[in-house]
Amino acid sequence: MMNFSNPCKNRLIVYLRICSYHILFILLSSIDVQAQKVVMPVLAFPGAEGFGRYVTGGRNGKIIKVINLNDHGPGSFRAAIESSGSRIIVFEVSGIIALEKGIQLLNPNVTINGQTAPGEGITITNYPVSVNANNVIIRFLRFRMGDAKQVEADALGGFEHKDIIVDHCSMSWSTDECLSFYNNDNLTLQWCIIAESLRKSAHSKGAHGYGGIWGGRMASFHHNLMANHDSRNPRFGEREGTAYALTDLVDMRNNVFYNWGSNSAYGGEAMRINIVNNYYKPGPATKIKNRIFSIDKYMKNSASPIYNQWGKFYISGNVIAGEKQATADNWTFGVYNQFNSRYGEVS
């Protein structure tokens, strides 16, 4: 006797199997689609690059209008800076804000949009501006400290904070460095002019005129012009002798350096630094024309965690006008030949 399968039963089994497969496929597809929905962070503003590109500043905060050029009081730039909460500072005036004392930016979550000023924009004079807060965006301002008040300071600077981006600003006529940012996390300085520090002015050491001290953990310095400083073009460094340098990372690329005097870039004790695709143009004050970077070691205190340690550097693609050898081989003719013999053998 032959046994025949029930075709209806078989069809039912096949149907159920197909349905089960499709149900499983739909569920798995749904899970896969959900897994791919990655929310990308929003740029600080169009054109923001580097490690500070995702700073939010005062996004979604209140709008504060600067309506006069007074040093202080309602409607002033200082009042806007000293306010709290997420805020976006805009300008309804243009001209010179002559400070009567330095400005300390202490409250976080702020965007300063200097490009909103009518006419020829905003210039800040007489005293320094210090960034002592997290999550800060500064754009399109001119910092011209000058020496009228005989103050020894940088035009703009900030230390030991995080999430900062400075864009399309200019800093000049400082009595110490023009601009110094170090020991900060997630920082970008881009499309800025750092120029003409005052060499013989109010500094206690006498002749000074320095560009800046640059460092940080995930710190980008790109597309800037640094010009007409005697030294520190820049000086790479963190807080002296501290372990911070062991975990930092500085990326300096696509900048222009012009007319450095006694020294271009130096320092970098125990730091990690990229120096890539920068353009160097010696000027009438330049003494050592082929110098890209003079690397140092920290030797002052043997108890320091960075004592006698070389940093780690990637140096490539830099061009020095008029110096074919250093341009073709950055390391051999622009860095290695600049080492100071007091540090002993390079390793």
232 belongs to the catalytic site: yes
- The residue type found at 67 is I
Which of 195, 197, 193, 188 shows the shortest CA–CA distance to 169? 193
Among candidate residues 232, 239, 272, 291, the one labeled active-site is: 232
Q: Which residues are catalytic?
A: 232
